[in-house]
Amino acid sequence: MPQEHDVAVIGFGPVGATMAHLLAQQGLSVLVLDREAAAYHLPRAVHFDDEVMRVFQGIGLADAILPHTHVSPGMRFVDAQGRLLMDWSRPMALTPQGWNASYRFHQPALEKVLRDGLATRPGVTYETSTEVTDIAQDAHGVTLRTTAGPRRAAWAVGCDGARSFLRGVIGGGMADLGFDERWLVVDLILKRPRPDLGDHSIQFCRPERPATYVRGVGDRRRFEITVHPDEAPGDRLPAEEVWRLLAPWVSERDAELERSAVYTFRSAVAARWRDRRLFIAGDAAHLTPPFMGQGMCTGIRDAANLAWKLARVHRGEAGEGLLDSYQAERVPHARAYIETAVRLGGLINTRAMAAALGEAPEDGPVRMESIAPALGGFTTPFGCPVPQPVLADGVRLDDRVGPRFAVLLRPRAAAALDPAIMDRLAARGAVLVADAALDPWLASLDAAAALVRPDRQLLALAADAGGVAAFLERF
């Protein structure tokens, strides 16, 4: 049976929409299927980082997303007496990725930008109010039975959330990483200014009832408060009980209650991310407590990792073994973030303070640094994002390179490079960039050139111009 589309993406949240953008950018035809009629109108995820903004830049939407964000100065952990235990402040200057380290956002606004962008991108079709009820695959493609009739694609990617249908089809279940707690999530819209709440997110490490405060975009504020076992047998609390729990910080005079719901925060990783032509990404592949704000970020990284690999294999430019590297690279990376979030959850609950803080200095709070793990199978700096400087002509690196491999060179190395090697690299689809703005980074690695993947991860280094020829064996 012929394929109607190259890839079917199941799920139209931020991860699914980003996956569709990245695949279409690689020239693939994409069908997006979602069982809901429209994007969810209330906030869920509220944070993304510089690496994710760089992905949005790569699909041409960062400038449209930026007005819907608030740059966050970071997070503080305080005890029941208000003493600062740990400070995770983030730099307000741009990071080496070319963006701020931490952004707060309103998910409905982000989803609108992503969906509006897909509406104008060639090669993308999306069907809402369409549920996938069965999937079968053969040597040539995937047949999806849906409530709107059968659909056919060469590959399918499930970005269909924590209760993923496609994960069930792939099988294997999920490995529990040890966190399972019920929390009340409350979204508020301020009626009057409350600058005393602050711009930092605050983790209130209170033994009787741990809580989190998040400064959102504009007048939006979020509180997350633990729920005791004997409370809220369903997923709701009466409004008067919600306001009672919020009383230490805000009252009905201060804010309007936009949404409150009880969620179970879990930590888990799927055992299998691929079955031949089927893949999962985002919450379908992993679940993390929210204490690092990395749930959606991890899913966007999944999309960035998988999309270019799927495109190369589909075009016949690489063998299917490349697709096996998706789970191998992403699982250890995702676990690093999830396990760190679990440790922070222990600190917030004051049940694992020593494990979270380590040896606390006597003269002040612990200073937390953001983690930056390498992808599975790599050792830093390989398998990590390369910096994004502004080049001599004022163009940012990623805007010059686009969704392709890149060879980044110090100008002196470029001048010594064999033209025949340059031609062969270009014929493979690599973009060569020689610019003095790359000198400091390459010099710090004692390198003259670097090979960078389409997802901006460092793949290889060369000590001199002669070593660049070896890049041809790496992609």
Contact 405, 475 (CB under 8 A): yes
The full set of domain ranges for the chain reads 5-70+101-175+268-329, 398-473
Contact 462, 445 (CB under 8 A): no
What pLDDT was estimated at residue 424?
97
What pLDDT was estimated at residue 362?
60
Task: Give the C-alpha separation, 172 to 218, whole Å.
Answer: 42
Contact 312, 323 (CB under 8 A): no
Task: Determine the distance from the C-alpha atom of residue 118 to the mean position of all C-alpha atoms in its chain, rounded to a whole number.
Answer: 19
User: Number of C-alpha atoms within 13 angstroms, CB side, residue 202?
Assistant: 18
From first to last of its 475 residues, the chain has per-residue pLDDT tens of: 566 999 999 999 999 999 999 999 999 999 999 999 999 998 899 999 999 999 999 999 999 999 999 999 999 999 888 899 999 999 999 999 999 999 999 999 999 999 999 999 999 999 999 999 999 999 999 999 999 999 999 999 999 999 999 999 999 999 999 999 999 999 999 999 999 999 999 999 988 899 999 999 999 999 999 999 888 787 789 999 999 999 999 999 999 999 999 999 999 999 999 999 999 999 999 999 999 999 999 999 999 999 999 999 999 999 999 999 999 999 999 999 999 999 988 888 765 454 455 444 466 788 888 999 999 999 999 999 999 999 999 999 999 999 999 999 999 999 999 999 999 999 999 999 999 999 999 999 999 999 999 999 999 999 999 999 999 999 9
Indicate the class that CATH gives domain 5-70+101-175+268-329.
alpha beta
Task: Give the C-alpha separation, 327 to 329, whole Å.
Answer: 5
Q: What string of H, E and C letters represents the secondary structure of the chain?
A: CCCCEEEEEECCCHHHHHHHHHHHHCCCCEEEECCCCCCCCCCCCCEEEHHHHHHHHHCCCHHHHHHHEEECCEEEEEECCCCEEEEEECCCCCCCCCCCCEEEECHHHHHHHHHHHHHCCCCEEEECCCCEEEEEECCCCEEEEECCEEEEEEEEEECCCCCCHHHHHHCCCEEEEEEEEEEEEEEEEECCCCHHHCCCEEEEECCCCCEEEEECCCCEEEEEEECCCCCCCCCCCCHHHHHHHHCCCCCCCCEEEEEEEEEEEEEEEECCCEECCEEECHHHCEECCHHHCCHHHHHHHHHHHHHHHHHHHHCCCCCCHHHHHHHHHHHHHHHHHHHHHHHHHHHHCCCCHHHHHCCCCCCCCEECCCCCCCCCCCCCCCCCECCCCECCCCCEHHHHHCCCCEEEECHHHHHHCCHHHHHHHHHCCCEEEECHHHHHHHHHCCCCEEEECCCCEEEEEECCHHHHHHHHHCC
What pLDDT was estimated at residue 451?
98
What pLDDT was estimated at residue 340?
95
Q: Count of CB atoms within 10 A of residue 74's CB?
A: 17
Does 5-70+101-175+268-329 match 398-473 in CATH topology? no
Burial of 372 (0-12, 13-18, 19+ CB in 10 A): exposed
Closest CA to 157 of 336, 304, 1, 56: 304
Contact 288, 181 (CB under 8 A): no
What pLDDT was estimated at residue 1?
56
Closest CA to 23 of 296, 272, 302, 283: 302
Residue type, position 13, single letter: G
Residues 6+ apart with CB under 8 A from 317: 429
Token duo for residue 308: 């270019």
Task: Give the C-alpha separation, 463 to 450, whole Å.
Answer: 9
* Bridge partners, 226 (sequence order): 183
Contact 67, 401 (CB under 8 A): no
Beta pairing class for 142-146 and 30-33: unpaired
Torsion of CA 78, 83, 86, 91, to 10 degrees: 90
The single residue listed with the structure tokens 């869920």 is 44
In total, the chain counts a number of residues equal to 475
What pLDDT was estimated at residue 285?
98
* Bridge partners, 186 (sequence order): 223, 260
Task: Give the C-alpha separation, 145 to 147, whole Å.
Answer: 7
Task: Determine the distance from the C-alpha atom of residue 83 to the mean position of all C-alpha atoms in its chain, rounded to a whole number.
Answer: 32
The single residue listed with the structure tokens 């005890």 is 79
Closest CA to 57 of 105, 21, 93: 21
Residue type, position 340, single letter: T
* Bridge partners, 367 (sequence order): 87
pTM: 0.95
Torsion of CA 262, 212, 62, 120, to 10 degrees: 10
What pLDDT was estimated at residue 354?
47
Token duo for residue 182: 């019920």
Choose which CATH entry (3.40.50.300, 3.20.20.70, 3.40.30.120, 2.40.50.140) describes domain 398-473: 3.40.30.120
